[in-house]
Amino acid sequence: MKKAIRKVGVIMGVLLALTGCNSTAPKKLGINIAYDPVTIERLRVFPTVEVDIVEANETMLKQLEATSIDDYFDPDNMLRDSLRRKTFYFGEEDNGAKKLEKSDKIWDTWINKHGASHVVLFANLARDGAKGPDMRRLTLPLAKNRWKSGEINVSIIPAGLMLQTPMNPED
């Protein structure tokens, strides 16, 4: 009997370890946002930029991805004010990197209370023409199996936001 219980315990431990490694459960991330150094060197300016990090469950994600960036930042649009978000400000006087820490209490609210599966970053930048994708929005999944580490780097470029950290493909 003891051998059978021990075998079941070993099997359960292996299964738990395997599911923990490939889990799609949400993970708190350290999100680092900074001006792209090449852009700054080339342009020699620090444009004023607001970057919002917004939590999203599967339903809200579809709504956020369907919202135009210009509408999102429109002062008359009440959507932005109603969202649970973290906002960072960048400009000539305050051009250093900003970070949403993994230890920030907002993660507990986003993940545990509201079931966040993604965060969506919005950059309040003017769009230079309407060609190509709108890079002022960046969606990041929170699934553990999508990231090698818990630190994500995002650069502010003239067109919007650029993910610098490699993301694992979806299973």
Instruction: Tell whether 136 is covered by a domain.
Output: yes
pTM for the model stands at: 0.84
| CATH number of the domain that residue 90 is part of | 2.60.40.4150
Q: Convert the pLDDT of each residue in 48-65 to its tens digit.
A: 999 999 999 999 999 999
Contact 125, 18 (CB under 8 A): no
Report if residue 50 sits inside a domain. yes
- Provide the β-strand partners of residue 87: 52
Which residues constitute the domain of residue 79? Answer: 24-163
Report in angstroms the alpha-carbon separations of 145 from 25, 39, 76.
Answer: 8, 31, 38
User: Is 19 within the bounds of a domain?
Assistant: no
Whether residue 16 is contained in a domain is answered as: no
Is the residue at 45 inside a domain?
A: yes
- Judge whether 7 lies within some domain: no
Count up the domains in the chain and report the number.
1
**Structural domain contains residue 18:** no
Q: Which tens digits make up the pLDDT trace of 123-158?
A: 999 876 667 789 999 999 999 999 999 999 999 998
